[in-house]
Amino acid sequence: MQIYQAISQREAQGFNTQELRDNFLIESIFQNNEIKMYYTHYDRTVLGGVMPVYSEISLPTYDNLKSDYFLERREIGIINVGGDGEIAVDGKTFSLSKLDALYIAKGSKSVTFKSISSESPAQFFLFSAPGHHAYETRKMSKEEATPVNMGSPETANERTIYKYIHRDGIQSCQVVMGLTVLKSGSIWNTMPAHVHDRRMEAYLYFDLNADHRVFHLMGQPQETRHMVVANHQAVLSPPWSIHSGAGTSNYSFIWAMAGENLDFTDMEFANIAELR
């Protein structure tokens, strides 16, 4: 499990393009019949993906965690961005279609992943953080996630937001998780931009055509940087950094957070005219 160290804003100011990508971009999330996991020192989160094709895949533990099983001291949120699949948790099976989510509680010992069809495999994005309480393991479909339409064609950010794991949804210790789907003709996400002083965030971009890219903005509001991001790549966003972007086409992205506050609206906005 590759480890990503926590980087301060002062360090990041001196990074070139490759150094930014090495420290904040995860380029490989989904691989055929593999599970890919990455440990970050931002709030001790772990993120990654699993794409079972021909066989069932079990969630392993890792030496980095020093635990008997992965969820011994952790919780995990999962969203499927691929074909239909199933996740079995301690013998109980949950069916997940595209954009369905599953929260798995601390203390769950056995977690396995499978796809219904090898021709259209499930693609499960995983996001985990340390947990202090065993909440209920629970599935939520995209229809149950109280979709909210925001933005407008005039500002090229017409989008639908789905909230799954948060204070008023699936209960968790510190994971907050959902996704945003941009409508055709819209390219901007999270603008006006904001920072979260009390938690980190990660983005997974998906449903982006292979020939297109997202220009992901990061950095302090008055010291911004950018990375060019492809489909099924993930970005780490420290508490001091904005997280926004514009694509060469419309796309979708999962947002996943962990830290001190479960309130979805806990953010400090940066006025567009003040960005540098």
- Give pTM, 2 decimals: 0.95
Query: What domains can you pick out in the chain, each with its CATH number?
Result: 2-274 (2.60.120.10)
Q: What is the pLDDT of residue 198?
A: 82
Instruction: Write the pLDDT tens digit of every residue in 45-76.
Output: 999 999 999 999 999 999 999 999 999 999 99
Instruction: Write the pLDDT tens digit of every residue in 166-220.
Output: 999 999 999 999 999 999 999 999 888 888 888 899 999 999 999 999 999 999 9
pLDDT band at 266 (very low <50, low <70, confident <90, very high): confident
Mapped to the 3 state alphabet, what secondary structure does the chain carry?
CEEECCCCHHHHHCCCHHHHHHHHEECCCCCECCEEEEEECCCCCEEEEEECCCCCEECCCCHHHCCCCCCCCEEEEEEECCCCEEEEECCEEEEECCCCEEEECCCCCCEEEEECCCCCCCCEEEEEEECCCCCCCEEECHHHCCCEEECCHHHCCCEEEEEEECCCCECCCCCEEEEEEECCCCCEECCCCEECCCEEEEEEEECCCCCCCEEEEEEECCEEEEEEECCCCEEEECCCCCCEEEECCCCEEEEEEEECCCCCCCCEECCHHHCC
